Chains A and B, each alone.
Chain A
Amino acid sequence: MNAFQNILVFVVVAPAGIFAVFALLWLLGWNPSERLLSGTTGITFSACSAGVAALIWKTSSALSVTATFGSWFAVGTYHFPLVLMVDRLSVPFVALAVVLSGLIGQFSATYLHRESGFLRFFLLLHLFAFGSLLAFAAGSFDLLAAGWEIVGITSVLLIGFFERRPAPVENGLYVFGIYRTCDMGLLVAIFAMHHWAGTASFVAGFPRFTGAQEVIICLLLLFAASGKAAQVPFSGWLPRAMEGPTPSSAIFYGAISIHAGAYLLLRAQPLLAQSVIASCLVILIGAITAIHGTIVGRASADAKTSLAYATLTQVGIVFIEIGLGWRWLAIAHILGNATIRTMQYLRAPSMLHDYHQMHSAIGGELSPTGTQLEEMLPEKVHLWLYRWALDRGHLDTMTERWIIDPLSQLSAYLSRGDQRPSPSPAPIPTGCAAEPSTSGSSQGGN
């Protein structure tokens, strides 16, 4: 292995190493100090950033850097290839993941100071960085899927970070459901690739498929990408993901995770370019999402939801760009969108202050926004559109009424056969009052 291959491996594996070491020591009962944890994080991501700089320099001359470790396991003709690769497509993503993870680590060291979940947050941040780097630097879809899943699970765990309140946990579960559903697309696509071409690796160019096979694989990948990127009809989970601490919202839904779907499509672009149907569908989904995002965002009155939809709008446009085959524009757009949203999320608590500043600078009168809506549309349409925006395109409502509810009824019906009749509980005598609700924290004494 040459130096650049070593660097590549280091960049991807370093966050995993930090995660593994700290997680293991924690399991053994050790609780590292905040200073040690944030210091280590800083050093790791600084080193990774240097490594990324080297990789950028290398890929600007050579086309790619590849590191192969044979296969993880093999079953019959199937084998799971362990191959890392950065090329000109993945290097911007790798750079983005490393730099933003480092900056978010720096932010969180102060932001989460004295928070009881400090260690948990940093463990998840490292695991997430590893997952996203693995996804971006994978040389095959098999490995990419591994990174993809790690990103998904850390995302869900950070949404439910404040595990003592019900809302974060419920919303985390909702996101988990959507993620898992859409991940099926990626997994089936990989099966299909193996089935038809015997490999899902793209190190040496894409395997060859017939026209119909291409369309099916593209659609499956698009399904997976749409879920991760919160495209219509899956957009409902995005505002729910705002339950976690602000920096995790920033890096996941402003920057990395939300753009992972776009990366998947960019990676599959050689296939996509072959299929007009799939390309059109990507453009269609992107366009609908962009319009959905901008309309819903206009009726969102809280800082984070409004930012979430602003991000989503641009991701929709990125999908259009990908569908049109404008790779480099899409990449530039992703980098710009990710950076500005990270900044905006991190500054979201300042919204009040910023708005007040602008207000006084402009002289006390801000020109009203959104008046053209009232002027252009008849009142009925205007009201209808506003309500549509307020219910976020009715996406959640439809999911709940027409997917979740029938499913849970079905499962209730199916489980009826399993139930044994339970004895009815004995009547409870009432009388003098219970101890006033003072339990809360006092388990006292033991």
Chain B
Amino acid sequence: MTGAGPSKSSRIGRLRHVMEHAAHPLPRQGPIGIFVHHNTLHAFEHLPFEEAVKQAGQLFEAEPYMSEARYRSELSRGRIQLVDVDAVIDREPDSLIFSGLSRSSLRRAMITPGVREFDGATIVWRIEQGDLAKDFQAPALRILFDACFTRAVPHEEEPAAPRPVDEVIHPWLIRLCSVFLDQGTAYWPMPNREKGFYESVRTLLSGGGGIFPKYLVGLGEEFRRQQHLGFSAADSVLDYLDSITPEETEWAEIVQAELLALPGWAGLMRKLEEEPTLAPHHILPCSLMDFLAVRLTMARIAAQRGAAETIPEESPLKTQERRRLSRTARIYDAARVLRLSAEEVARLSQSEWVVFSSEIKAFNGLERRRVLHLAYERAHEREILRGLASHRKYRGLFDQGQRPVAQVFFCLDEREESMRRALEETSPAVETHGAAGYFGVAVDYKGIDDPHGAALCPVVVKPKHAIVEQPKAGDGSVLNSRRWRRRILGLLMRNSFVSSKTLLRGWLSTAALGLLSAVPLIGHLLAPRRYALLREWLNKAFLPEPRTELTLMRNTRQSRGAVSGLLMGFTAEEKAERVASVLGPAGLVHNFARLVVILGHGSSSLNNPHESAHDCGACGGRRGGPNARLFAAMANRQEVRERLREEGIDIPPDTWFVGGYHDTCNDGIDLFDLDAVPSTHLPDVESIRRAFDHARAQNALERSRRFESCLANADTKRALRHVEERSEHLAQPRPEYGHCTNSVCIIGRRRLTRGLFLDRRAFLLSYDSSVDPDNDALAALLAAAVPVCAGISLEYYFSFVDNDRYGCGTKLPHNVTSLMGVMDGHASDLRTGLPWQMVEIHEPVRILFVVETTPGRLEKVIDISPALKQLLENRWIRLATIDPASARVHVHRDGGFEEFHEDLERLPVALSSYEWYAGKLQHLSMAWIQTPRTATGDGLR
């Protein structure tokens, strides 16, 4: 320890700075109960995408792209086309390697026909018995290999040895973290945990009378020493660092290596330090410094006890000879695909040889995968843009013709694309729109069954208003009896669960009552859907449901919640503002239908720790029903409509708004507050209900095509049953495929995309540039939609390309820990990211935004938003525009927009979506679904 007072505190300040910097790459996932999709490599967004995946790949030992073999198979099945590969290579700087060979032609040859990957571990086997042995049956190739071998110089770096200390300290550290953070699994809470991680661990382990594992003997004394010196966590860390190195410049590397050894737990500690209220039940004083101090103290003892000496001997598979052989093989393979002969190789001058071999090295597996990936995305981009342009050119903008019978607002979520299409297909007189699923109302909402309020809005927004659901006049007693009965049920559940795990009460409950659990066991497993219906029926019978309303009125500016400081309800202006923020940008300012339905969404599934990841991203990983209900209630108010009229949004008196909720897992649709619907509109509600029933069954059928376990010849009825069963099945690891197919976000009028089969791959956000002369609405839409959509797209990208490092692996061995996350088995790092079952059918591409505006207008919007600019310029998203008037398409490449010129063919035509997708499991290309252009009569079936 050096000095005291200011020098020490400035040292601590510097340490903090180093630690914060080192902690940047840690996962930013909070407790799993509220899953918010975000860019896994958020910390690298200041770098260009290709550089970021490379750096992060080295840091996490993770894959930056899919495997080369995977891209190759995509190439051979035509998903990647050679023209895209060429286009990518042609855009990069070229140079001459030696006469007759340019870099671009070398690279082309190394991709097609393509070279193989070699490594030191397998090279000898491959030469003696494998594919190279087969090559060498042709003598020319054997000679070529030898020619390369004589000139090849081996030089490779050793990979870092694994850190054996981890194996010693992780079992302890993981257990300590899990009990410290525990939200209620363990019967005994960890003693002293309110004092923080470092102090509680120190107190726990410095007591006498315990036995430590071999390599941690002495940990107790060390903690006692630190306690005696009155160390804070930072003191302890400094003490360790001083014992390792005198140089502060080396801190960063040491600290980062320690934090990244267990990134899941360290990341959660940090997240909870920043936002303690994310903890679902017990708020804990988390601190990354505490975590680091405990970890380093353990590492110090383990190192002292000699744990680090057990570094395994260098693998015999990695000898110098093998490295030279594998390096030779790489050059040989490139020479082979270039059709160079041994003489030609031998004839190269030394400088030519050096350039040649270093060019081959420069186009290593990583680089080839980068080029292949860019080609893979380019092919996707061309397909989407060609399809959109073709649809616009040959089909024109869709014209509703007359007043639609209903307008339905969905969340922009790509899972609603098929639902919207199904609704329009079965009921052509219905018009659909898309908006971010919190519908402009950022609120802290507390339903009748909720103990606390929860924010229903994107995570970047902090709600200022609180809304409470309360029983309608006269139903107060119903609510009371509901609460009372729920409480009894809850206590019963809790007691039976807790007591089944204890000694004596557990004896009674297992011996006497244990066999009773055969009923739910058999029910759940043999008849999941019927059993769910039975439970629902019992629930209804036992728990009365009061009619409720939302407290959305606020007359004075003063009425704030006493504790939360939130405004209770909205004033008339605020309501009008929120309604206008959704209707305006969508261009819905006149021609309102008699009925406007607002549908929030969420997803219910059983036995699924990642359930919340399927909920609405725009509602912060929660369910968006209340937002829709609130929006409709606001839009129905007279004073709101008057104010809207002043702003040019003319809602006629015979228009009624209804809020609703769509469950994307079981495809159920609920409509709210139907008792408030005027009697004149009851027939409209009845017909939209029927329309929804047709549409959701169609939607279930379309979704089922992806599920191998659904019978291929299922009809709508069976498909609906199938998806309902999925959401209630105890054993179902993939209740729905979530955002698995996302790849595009189209921001424009529905008229542009109506009738287009987009295969649930496109986020659809309604935007009409003609009512947005100064681009303000566009700026607002992009500010809300881009981070949400890009976060989803990039999280899926990374969880797919390296499911073990960036994702959380297969769900099958997952073990819910501390009620905050999942581990593999009984002692692993906290697994963050998405499980394989959620991403397995994903196509990892960066999301392509297509905005219906002109490049000039869009550039203005981007220029004023640094966040957007960074995402775009560092290529974390892709961007294109389609001109609303001329239909010309521009695509953003290399920092600027360029016009997209391609011959447009008519899209294939199908009479219904079903005809297009029936019997197919794979991603499908766009098609034109031929439905009646305009509706006659009531239009609804």
Contact = CB atoms under 8 A, between A and B. Distances in A.
Interface of A: 103, 106-115, 161-162, 165, 167-168, 171, 239-240, 242-247, 290-291, 293-294, 297-307, 309-310, 313-314, 317, 329, 332-333, 335-340, 342-344, 346-366, 368-370, 373-374, 379-380, 382-384, 386-391, 394, 397-398, 400-401, 405, 425-426, 428-446
B159 A437 contact: yes
A404 to B, nearest CB: 10
Contact of A443 (B117, B203, B320): B117
B191 A359 contact: no
B698 to A, nearest CB: 25
A303 B156 contact: no
Contacts of A115: 810, 812
6 contacts: A107-B731, A298-B187, A335-B515, A336-B511, A346-B524, A431-B155
The 6 closest A-B pairs by CB, nearest first: A336-B514, A364-B451, A361-B490, A445-B116, A431-B155, A441-B67
A303 B823 CA distance: 10
A430 B514 contact: no
A167 B828 contact: yes
B813 A168 contact: yes
Interface string B187-222: 111110000000000011101111111100000000
B213 A397 contact: yes
Given A239-B826, A337-B511, A366-B281, A358 B493 contact: yes
A386 B191 contact: yes
Contacts, number: 367
B815 A304 contact: yes
Nearest to B823: A302
Interface stretch (B55-63, B92-100, B888-896, B933-941): B55-63
B48 interface: no
Contact of B816 (A247, A302, A309, A425): A302
B501 A297 contact: yes
Given A346-B731, A359-B281, A428-B320, A445 B32 contact: no
Given A103-B525, A360-B449, A428-B320, A346 B818 contact: no
B122 interface: yes
B204 A387 contact: yes
B131 A374 contact: no
A242 B826 contact: yes
A437 B61 contact: yes
Given A110-B731, A242-B815, A340-B514, A439 B810 contact: no
B189 A368 contact: yes
A441 B63 contact: yes
B58 to A, nearest CB: 6
B825 interface: yes
A88 to B, nearest CB: 17
A306 B186 contact: yes
Nearest to B115: A445
Q: By CB atoms of chain B within 10 A, which of A293, A302, A439 has the most?
A: A302
A242 B817 CA distance: 13
A304 B487 CA distance: 27
Interface residues of B, number: 132
Interface stretch (B364-372, B395-403, B460-468): B364-372
A314 B840 contact: no
Nearest to B33: A352
Contact of B211 (A161, A305, A358, A401): A401
Given A363-B487, A382-B191, A442-B69, 20 more contacts: A167-B825, A294-B506, A310-B506, A313-B506, A317-B503, A351-B819, A353-B611, A359-B281, A360-B449, A361-B487, A373-B188, A383-B191, A386-B188, A386-B191, A387-B205, A389-B188, A430-B155, A433-B156, A438-B63, A439-B117
A307 B839 CA distance: 30
A332 B211 CA distance: 38
Contact of A400 (B115, B158, B214, B518): B214
A243 B812 CA distance: 10
B693 interface: no
B314 interface: yes
A182 B555 CA distance: 76
A346 B730 contact: yes
B365 A438 contact: yes
Nearest to A374: B191
B621 to A, nearest CB: 13
Contact of B490 (A109, A347, A358, A397): A358
Given A299-B179, A339-B517, A362 B511 contact: no
B241 to A, nearest CB: 28
Interface string B42-75: 0000000000001001100101100111101000
Contact of B213 (A111, A356, A400, A426): A400
Interface in B464-497: 483, 486-487, 489-491, 493-494, 497
Interface of B: 32-33, 54, 57-58, 61, 63-64, 67-70, 72, 114-117, 119, 122, 126, 130-131, 154-159, 175-176, 178-179, 181-191, 203-205, 207-214, 280-281, 314, 319-320, 333, 361, 364-366, 369, 449-452, 483, 486-487, 489-491, 493-494, 497-498, 500-503, 506-507, 509-515, 517-518, 520-522, 524-526, 606-609, 611, 708-709, 729-734, 802, 810-819, 823-828, 837, 840
Contacts of A356: 33, 280
A339 B515 contact: yes
B215 to A, nearest CB: 10
A108 B33 CA distance: 25
Contact of B117 (A390, A428, A445): A445
Which residue of B502, B731, B824 has the most chain A CB atoms within 10 A of its CB atom?
A: B731
B69 A443 contact: yes
B178 A301 contact: yes
Nearest to B172: A391
B826 A302 contact: yes
B214 A303 contact: no
A394 B210 CA distance: 8
A111 B731 contact: yes
B284 to A, nearest CB: 12
B818 A302 contact: yes
Given A114-B708, A436-B57, A354 B156 contact: no
A436 B517 contact: no
A347 B730 contact: yes
B497 A436 contact: no
A436 B510 contact: no
B779 to A, nearest CB: 37
A314 B507 CA distance: 6
A112 B733 CA distance: 8
B258 to A, nearest CB: 20
A357 B491 CA distance: 11
Nearest to A361: B490
B186 A301 contact: yes
Given A329-B511, A446-B116, A107 B730 contact: yes
A441 B54 CA distance: 16
Contacts of B506: 294, 310, 313-314
Given A336-B515, A337-B511, A386-B188, A439 B825 contact: no
Contacts of B510: 314, 333, 336-337, 340
Contact of A103 (B72, B489, B522): B522
